[in-house]
Amino acid sequence: MAHNIKWFKTIDSTNSEAFRQFEASDDFSVFAAEFQTNGRGQKGTNWESETGHNLTFSILLKSNSIKAEDQFLIAQIVTVGIKRYLKHLGIEAKIKWPNDIYIGDKKICGILIEHFLSGDTLSGSIVGIGLNLNQKQFRSDAPNPVSVSILTGKEYDIKEELESLAGFIYEIYYTYRNFSSGSTEDRLEREYHESLYRLDEFHKYEITRDGRVIEARIVGTDTNACLILEEEDGSRGSYHFKEVKYII
């Protein structure tokens, strides 16, 4: 299906544009740019992207059917949609909790989500996505980037691929917006869980509050969307975003 995608040659940030256009825009409006002068990543970082080579865009969601306490559903909808899109291209991806997309130990996609609340429901969300599509060389200090083109050896049309990717995300979003039920949530949560990067594998993690390094495995997430790590002695801990650092 054709989506409401507004393209810009150059813009400060597609997330900022989605915020500026929030009131006047329809649900699932997409704002995309060939180049962002101030594209934002997690923790205030910038997202490196050569002009016209990658997918840098934001999706504006205005559903009021998701409770504030269930806002992690948005991250699950988007990450599973991206994983399915990459599978369609022949690429097996994993979701690095909470919402990065990895191929092996390399990052192919970053996501920044901003929520807006009205009482006990979400009045809207802005989902900023940067997916490395055609870029071959990365010059920033990002430690482990990779792109679709590096993996497949092919070049892609960014507008065609954004239409395709938006379709994968919309299919899941539409289901949850219109037919939300316990069974559909369970299916999404199961696919997210089964797709987690490092699931059931022992690796090193840094606990940021005290700098302690532990050997643990990811066993899932809890009802607060915290990451559950199980150490070798069987003890478990739940960690919020930024409370635990992957050592790669």
Q: Given 194, 216, 232, which residue is the final one in a domain?
A: 194
Same domain flag for 107 and 30: yes
Overall number of domains in the chain: 2
How far is Cα 87 from Cα 236, in angstroms, rounded to an integer? Answer: 32
> What is the extent of the structural domain holding 9?
5-194
Same domain flag for 78 and 141: yes
How far is Cα 159 from Cα 1, in angstroms, rounded to an integer? Answer: 14
Give the model's pLDDT for residue 63. Answer: 79
Same domain flag for 155 and 214: no
Helices (H), the chain: 14-20, 72-88, 148-152, 158-179, 182-194
Same domain flag for 130 and 222: no
Same domain flag for 190 and 207: no
Same domain flag for 208 and 99: no
How far is Cα 185 from Cα 57, in angstroms, rounded to an integer? Answer: 26
Same domain flag for 74 and 136: yes
How far is Cα 190 from Cα 30, in angstroms, rounded to an integer? Answer: 27
CATH of the domain at 119: 3.30.930.10
Same domain flag for 210 and 162: no
Give the model's pLDDT for residue 50. Answer: 79
Q: What is the DSSP letter of 225?
A: S
User: 133: helix, coil or strand?
Assistant: coil
Same domain flag for 189 and 219: no
User: How many residues are listed for the chain in this entry?
Assistant: 248
Same domain flag for 76 and 112: yes
CATH of the domain at 219: 2.30.30.140
**pLDDT per residue of the chain (248 residues) written in tens, 0 to 9:** 557 899 999 999 999 999 999 999 999 999 999 999 887 654 445 556 778 999 999 999 997 778 889 899 999 999 999 999 999 999 999 999 999 999 999 999 999 999 999 889 999 999 999 999 999 988 776 679 999 999 999 999 999 999 999 999 999 999 888 776 667 778 999 999 999 999 999 999 999 999 999 999 999 999 899 999 999 999 999 999 999 999 99
**Model confidence over 104-125: pLDDT tens digits?**
999 999 999 999 998 899 999 9
Same domain flag for 38 and 141: yes
Parallel, antiparallel or unpaired: strands 55-61 and 94-96: unpaired
Same domain flag for 230 and 122: no
User: How far, in Å, are 32, 65, 69, 179, 243 from residue 110 at the CA level?
Assistant: 15, 26, 23, 28, 19
Parallel, antiparallel or unpaired: strands 236-239 and 227-231: antiparallel
Q: In what order do the strands lie in the sheet with 227-231?
A: 236-239, 227-231, 212-221, 202-207, 244-246
